[in-house]
Amino acid sequence: MSSRAMFIFAAISGFVLVAFGAFGAHVLSKSLGATEMAWIHTGLEYQAWHTLAIIGLGSAMLRRANIWFYWSSALLALGTVLFSGSLYCLALSHLKVWVFITPVGGMFFLIGWLVMLVGALRLKQRADRHE
């Protein structure tokens, strides 16, 4: 993902986050139960944190291209869509198929964070060599 793509994804994700959060708080909370609202809340929370991480990666990529940050942002974006999206779908539809998608999104989150760690460690090594 290029920095531009990262920022575009983050902007869309941020918009969806705020819009769906407001819709959930003002509309869905009147018709959904506590369990469904908890699923939506968890999805929103994870979406918020990972959207911020993608913004950070995009900012870092503006300074220096890093293939590890490229892949980390792609994995975090995919994790956001699968993890948060499946929780939203589960809360709204009660189709049990979504419970199998959520952990796949979580694995993409974990792999994305590990790939970011590798990129950060390699960035440190590269900076030390140039000093």
* CA distance linking residue 94 with residue 13, whole number of Å: 23
Residue span of the structural domain in which 17 resides: 3-130
Work out how many domains the chain is built from and give that number. Answer: 1
- 13 near 47, Cβ under 8 Å? yes
Stated pTM of the model? 0.90
Report CA-CA distances (Å) from 74 to 2, 79, 112: 9, 8, 8
pLDDT digits (tens, 9 = 90+) for 38-62: 999 999 999 999 999 999 999 999 9
- Provide Rg for the chain, Cα atoms: 17
Report CA-CA distances (Å) from 114 to 44, 73, 102, 109: 22, 11, 19, 9
pLDDT digits (tens, 9 = 90+) for 19-30: 999 999 999 989
- The two tokens of residue 112 are 């994305």
